[in-house]
Amino acid sequence: MSTSVRVLAAARDVGVEYVEDPGATLAKNARIRELVPGVALASNQAVASLETMALDQAFGAIDVPLIDLNWYGGFRAALTAGRMAELVGRDVGVHSSMETAISQSAQLQMAACVPNLPYASDSHYLYLRADVGGDPLPIVDGRMRVPTGPGLGVDVDPAQLTALHESWQETGFLSWDAPGGPVVLPRW
């Protein structure tokens, strides 16, 4: 916790928007908040579900819940999380968890429906060397548009999807985070 306190004090001095998960639990984040006021705390670990969002109301540890379609259980739960935060006057961010174009598109679709989302969404999509097919989702001036095609707006190549699935089954990793693999720079 001492490292988090030291880093947060420096972050406060440079005016960061928020700091993600400086403590692993709600209690630790609440204590860090006491020790270093003036830095917004975000979480996708201590607050990672509708239940932990509700529990955080007692702790008051987290300013910005980072909602995630995968972790929260789909569109309905993620939108409910955004609404829960809105009801208590909180904004939300969007957490990233190794999206392919399918999941990234779903996150973009969800983000477009949440009115209390003023922050740029996290994205690990930029680090993938291979995707599920079609053209990569375009990033223009640091922004991604919500795809407008049928369904989630992503063209899937069945052979590429199979290859990525087999890689995941074999290694447990996508192309950008293979242990011992080369460092892959994002496509931006």
* In a domain? residue 22: yes
Per-10-residue mean pLDDT, the chain, length 188:
91 91 92 93 90 86 91 90 92 86 91 94 76 83 90 90 83 55 47
Pick from 56, 70, 20: nearest CA to 40: 20
Phi–psi pair at 85, nearest 5 degrees: -65, -40
H and E: helices and strands count for the chain: 7, 4
Task: Give Cα 39 to chain centroid, integer Å.
Answer: 19
Tell me if 153 is assigned to some domain.
Answer: no
Tell me, yes or no, whether 91 lies in a domain: yes
* CATH number, position 102: 3.20.20.120
Residue 167 lies in a domain: no
At residue 174, the pLDDT reads 56
pLDDT value for 73: 87
Total domain count for the chain?
1
Is 182 part of a structural domain of the chain?
A: no
- Global confidence as pTM: 0.83
What is the phi/psi pair of residue 11, to 5°? -65, -40
Count of CB atoms situated within 10 Å of the CB of 128: 22
Q: Is residue 67 part of a domain?
A: yes
102, 79 in Cβ contact below 8 A?
no
Domain that holds residue 99: 2-125
* pLDDT score for 167: 78
3-state secondary structure at position 114: coil
| Cβ proximity of 67 and 36 under 8 Å | no
User: How much is the pLDDT for 134?
Assistant: 75
Q: Tell me if 172 is assigned to some domain.
A: no
pLDDT at 97: 73
Closest to 137 measured CA to CA, from 97, 105, 111, 107: 105
Q: CB under 8 Å to 24, separation ≥6 — which residues? A: 45, 46
Distance separating alpha carbons of residues 32 and 48, to the nearest angstrom = 19
In a domain, 180, yes or no: no
Helix residue ranges per DSSP H, 36-153: 50-59, 69-72, 75-87, 101-111
